[in-house]
Amino acid sequence: MSRPRTARRWILRVLLALASLVAVLALVAGIGFVTWAKLGVMGAETEPWEAVRGDPGILVEEDATTLVLRPGDATASTPEGTGIPAESTLGLVFFPGAKVDAEAYAARLSHLVTEQDVTVVIVKPLLHLALLDPRGLDAFTGTSPAVTSWMVGGHSMGGVRACALAPDASALLLFASYCADDISASDVPVLSLAGSEDELSTPAKIQGARHLLPADAQMVEIAGASHASFGDYGPQEGDGTPTIDDGTMDAEVTGRIAELVAEAGLG
């Protein structure tokens, strides 16, 4: 009788030791992942970000989870004290690329605010990785009750996250990105912007996932644009060399989105 008991005790000790080892390995892996996520974050270039902050036509609100750009006169006063025009009825929730600061997209999206009266909410994802962010659109839209139509979009991995939320949105904007989810049966308007010099989300990769989008999705390749041309965070390792300047890139992005908005009857 003692031998079976001894064997059971030995097996129990082995199992407990294995469970402890698994827990330690999981903890080490978790710490390692968090450390990796925090290293090499690509910050916003100072000059474009400061230009947005200094633009009197843009109201900037920022906290730990979002960066919000609202149309309005930041120097004006209204009865409500906001300076926000009542006609701001169209919004965009935008997810950054992996390990890129939200502020890096402020300048590229700022013309939507000043020229199209779009309220732009740039998400600050958990660990700078949009794919890990479990929040839905309603987590970002509640502070803008005047907005009646919400687009969702993103750059690179941020676009992949945006695709998952597309069924809840009025339109989907992809910057150098493509869907992992099949939304081909959806009637959501889609604008997919690629860069001819992008060596990360290459035009070929984007076209390779074209079948996951609705048949009427607008596919546009911007000549001279690289992967990093869709933001202002400097060169990115593995990317191509852009031949397009910021002003032309701004005009291309803003103009294409304005066309989609008009065709879809948004706002």
**Neighbour count for residue 240 (Cβ, 10 Å):** 20
Mean pLDDT to the nearest integer, 243-256: 98
Same domain as 222, residue 127: yes
Mean pLDDT to the nearest integer, 126-154: 94
Q: Identify which of 8-17, 21-30, 101-110, 134-143 has the greatest average pLDDT.
A: 101-110
User: So what's the pLDDT on residue 74?
Assistant: 60
User: So what's the pLDDT on residue 56?
Assistant: 95
Same domain as 188, residue 153: yes
- pTM metric for this prediction: 0.84
Strand ranges across the sheet with 66-71: 58-62, 66-71, 118-123, 90-95, 149-155, 171-175, 190-195, 218-222
Same domain as 85, residue 25: no
Same domain as 73, residue 172: yes
Same domain as 171, residue 105: yes
User: So what's the pLDDT on residue 25?
Assistant: 45
Give the total number of structural domains in the chain.
2
Centroid of chain to Cα 81: 30
Name the residue range of residue 19's domain. Answer: 1-39
User: So what's the pLDDT on residue 72?
Assistant: 85
Return the CATH number at 166: 3.40.50.1820
User: So what's the pLDDT on residue 33?
Assistant: 37
d(CA 152, CA 136) in angstroms, rounded, equals 11
d(CA 206, CA 214) in angstroms, rounded, equals 14
Helix (H, G, I), strand (E, B) or coil at 13: helix
Same domain as 242, residue 194: yes
Same domain as 202, residue 106: yes
Question: Residue 197 pLDDT > 50, yes or no?
Answer: yes
